[in-house]
Structure 1
């Protein structure tokens, strides 16, 4: 009987609540035994887990580490982050058949602990543009991400990313064309719910992060009139909930805007199934914002909702290709109000029916096949 493939998944995130990595693990369970390295508790699907202490930052943040960035000592900076060093300590001399690195920042550590085994990269977004709206990131960290991609991406056995446009960027800049693994939710066996002639029920899910334009969605809903309600399922951000507090203040206790506790990622489609339109208008303040194709769009689809978005390239393609909703001219409150005013109950019913038809094709089950194919391909030379 052949030995079980040993797969190491490295992610500098709290994997137990990282939706993309959890889905990745669920796909890899069918390829071999999965060991994870990351923050937080043992994640579902992993046979073994090495927990990186929360205080171990995933970027060089100590004085010596920051100096390596300031002096452009990229080779030293690659492994200067406490999380990278701790990964090497935790894994020790254990051997794996393949390592999967989540995000560019995990690539040096994944290669260090792979000990010659193939490495597969899952680039969740455009690495060097992750936080370019923050000056320190733009000046110090973005060049490090660029170095890591140039140094390590060509050495990977395979790579993936969240959308076709970002895949083109990686190919243009680094000569590596990642395969596309979208942030699709697993298939949920649901049906579209009834649409009222009197009220259109809007919903938005995700992190309460500055830049997500949630305050505009709240203002637009209130100003659009009694015909609209908005329910928000928001996860407080790393700002200690400061932005979430400002959003609640912006809503001003309006009875048509309701804040709910966040729900677990796998529970979102069932939770939002009762609503009509999933909404998201994120301005293109960065490359990743401009090219985003987020979890929530696929959650809306699995929840059998219509979709209303701004003119974001990747989201527009999904909405238009499958006929599941409406696209605004821009991201302003006035444009959002105009879009809401244009929606009729009959359109919402048609769009919800379209998401129902598209739900199988736009489910994670399709994306899982790509993940499995990449990792099996990486394993072939050692099989």
Structure 2
């Protein structure tokens, strides 16, 4: 979905902006355009945000991105800033694949090349009491009392305050923006760090960044765009408490944010249709799928052992327990590798499950690799596995990075029978679908492969990768953002006359 004051188009090949009734001017004749990206994730590790930055950087724009610390991947060639992990505390808001923590509980870790936002902490009554004590006593009292309060009173008070804020949103949806800033103290830190930068357009990645870019755009007099990686209002809809306490806030933030957005985009057609219906939008959001950069990988026939790969966030809700349990039913030539970041306690639980089933010789829990190496490392495998439960509308419409990464790596695909993935699987004949996320159904799908069929699917994947890639997808996003910036500049010009 694209809105601007005047119709325009962008030529990706020559960096020209064409305005109806206006002369043609190359970007290079004026100052470089600048886009600001905001995401509640470690941006060097976030495939979609990194591709956005790469796109505009490669087309001659300046790029600045602001996100969380803790990245494992190499820094991109454009400016990438992160708040300081030392002052950030985890909260209940977040989203999607940005973190390995459950339900958006995103925890940061120190990272390299980090510019820190100043701590934002208002004085409280506890600080006032400490000032009455001798200076040398204060650190010990703060440590002892703080630990006790954090475990007892503070959690109760936080829940009470948040319940009050959510109740106010039920009464008046306009309170959602104020509630947003209370959900996680890192939202304010992201805004503070981003506010030191200027941009011609700000792009929010997911609803967790939407109020931030709205404020930045308003203060700087520029447009903003919204790219949602998930169906935010249904992301955890299978959980009653989430539906009662978080969905109203997210829906209100998203409704107001999309209403003022110059460009709204999403990752699947199902999500575009749902947003169009839910918010009664005048037109559907722009479809920009999660495709990786094109890479050439040679065809590699299957060997004696058939290697099955799951890569991605390793956490609850991704069918990994069922996948592990299914391996006992696989034919002996199949092996499973689960690779990706996840909470230590969850990874240990999976390891214990593997040991208890006596499958240690057939299942490997592998450490994550840098995001930029995902496809290259996946190319050593034969089958790409993703058995996602369809327990929410968000999951039903999922079209994840890993589907296209497996394809780019030249793997046969074995994925849940969910509409978006199944449509592409059948269109390009890339593999087999899993009708239900149970050990029996997963095993039946895997055992349905033999070496000959896997090799056929692998050849088809390499052929499909020639069209299912970021280079084929990116022009639409670049044109839409360029159109929004050109339209806003034209509108400012008219206002100045």
The normalised TM-score by structure 1 is: 0.92
Bigger radius of gyration among the two: 2
Shift of 1:259: 2.1
Shift of 1:162: 0.9
Shift of 1:246: 4.4
Contact kept in structure 1, 2:315 and 2:346, CA below 8 Å:
no
The normalised TM-score by structure 2 is: 0.72
Contact kept in structure 1, 2:321 and 2:350, CA below 8 Å:
no
User: What does residue 338 of structure 1 align with?
Assistant: 444
Q: 2:273 is matched with which residue: 168, 192, 212?
A: 168
Instruction: Count the aligned residue pairs.
Output: 382
Is the deviation greater in 306-315 or in 78-87? 78-87
Q: 1:14 to 1:55 in 2, by over 3 A?
A: same
Q: 1:179 to 1:221 in 2, by over 3 A?
A: same
Contact kept in structure 2, 1:192 and 1:352, CA below 8 Å:
yes
Q: 1:29-68: CA deviations, max 9, x gaps?
A: 1252111221116852432525264326474994645531
Shift of 1:300: 0.7
Distance 2:368 2:350 in 1: 12
1:319 aligns with 2:425: yes
User: What does residue 232 of structure 1 align with?
Assistant: 338
RMSD: 2.4
Is the deviation greater in 279-288 or in 245-254? 245-254
With CA pairs under 8 Å and 6+ residues apart, which has the higher RCO, 1 or 2? Answer: 2
Q: 1:87 to 1:270 in 2, by over 3 A?
A: closer
Contact kept in structure 2, 1:15 and 1:22, CA below 8 Å:
yes
Distance 1:320 1:310 in 2: 13
1:379 aligns with 2:485: yes
1:33 aligns with 2:32: no
Q: 1:217 to 1:380 in 2, by over 3 A?
A: same
1:180-329 superposed matches below 5 A: 180-196=287-303, 198-237=304-343, 241-249=347-355, 252-329=358-435
Distance 2:273 2:296 in 1: 34
Q: 2:237 is matched with which residue: 127, 132, 139?
A: 132
Q: 2:164 is matched with which residue: 44, 67, 74?
A: 67
Shift of 1:250: 5.1
Shift of 1:239: 5.6
Q: 2:206 is matched with which residue: 92, 100, 103?
A: 103
1:55 aligns with 2:89: yes
Shift of 1:238: 7.6
User: What does residue 467 of structure 2 align with?
Assistant: 361
Shift of 1:284: 0.7
Distance 2:452 2:194 in 1: 57
Distance 2:234 2:349 in 1: 22
User: What does residue 89 of structure 1 align with?
Assistant: 192
Distance 1:372 1:267 in 2: 25
Distance 1:10 1:206 in 2: 22
Is the deviation greater in 126-135 or in 54-63? 54-63
Unmatched 5+ stretches in structure 1: none
User: What does residue 77 of structure 1 align with?
Assistant: 179
1:149-160 superposed matches below 5 A: 149-160=254-265
Secondary structure at the aligned position of 1:283 is classed as coil
Is the deviation greater in 309-318 or in 367-376? 367-376
Q: 1:300 to 1:171 in 2, by over 3 A?
A: same
Q: 1:224-256: CA deviations, max 9, x gaps?
A: 231211122132138664544445445534312
Contact kept in structure 2, 1:207 and 1:237, CA below 8 Å:
no
Q: 1:252-273: CA deviations, max 9, x gaps?
A: 3431222221111221221121
Distance 1:253 1:362 in 2: 35
Distance 1:226 1:124 in 2: 37
Contact kept in structure 2, 1:125 and 1:288, CA below 8 Å:
yes
Q: Which runs of 4+ in 1 moved over 6 A?
A: none
Contact kept in structure 1, 2:354 and 2:360, CA below 8 Å:
no
Secondary structure at the aligned position of 1:71 is classed as helix
Distance 2:212 2:249 in 1: 14
Distance 2:60 2:244 in 1: 40
Q: 1:180 to 1:10 in 2, by over 3 A?
A: same
Distance 1:256 1:233 in 2: 14
Q: 1:243 to 1:101 in 2, by over 3 A?
A: farther
Q: 1:251 to 1:298 in 2, by over 3 A?
A: farther
Distance 1:186 1:345 in 2: 28
Q: 1:61-99: CA deviations, max 9, x gaps?
A: 946455312332424214334233223333346532100
Shift of 1:135: 3.9
Distance 1:2 1:248 in 2: 60
Unmatched 5+ stretches in structure 2: 1-28, 95-154, 170-174, 491-497
